[in-house]
């Protein structure tokens, strides 16, 4: 009786270890962890460059927006949008 229980428990333990080994081989969680750490370090080291690129894009679009507003204001018939033309005629 004790021997049978011991054998079944040992078999279950060996089966569990085999399943665990196959899971680690198939999913490789250590490799995935290392890849995520490396990606995090790369993102951290390139953060300044990405920030500068985003600021450049923002300033470029802001400049384009102001240029567009100025063109609309110059070509608009309403005097409250044409502050420069209104001030020069006074």
pLDDT in tens, 12-40: 999 999 999 999 999 998 899 999 999 99
Q: pLDDT above 70 covers what percent of the chain?
A: 83
Q: 28 — alpha (psi -120 to 50), left (phi > 0) or beta?
A: left
3-state secondary structure of 56: helix
Q: Is the pTM of this model over 0.75?
A: no
């Amino acid at each position: 009786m004790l021997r049978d229980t011991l054998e079944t428990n040992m078999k279950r333990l060996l089966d569990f270890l085999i399943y665990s080994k196959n899971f680690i081989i198939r999913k490789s969680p250590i490799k995935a962890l290392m890849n995520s750490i490396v990606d995090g370090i790369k993102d951290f080291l390139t953060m300044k460059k990405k920030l500068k690129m985003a600021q450049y894009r923002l300033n470029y679009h802001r400049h384009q927006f102001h240029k567009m507003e100025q063109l609309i204001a110059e070509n608009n018939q309403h005097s409250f949008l044409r502050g420069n033309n209104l001030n020069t005629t006074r």
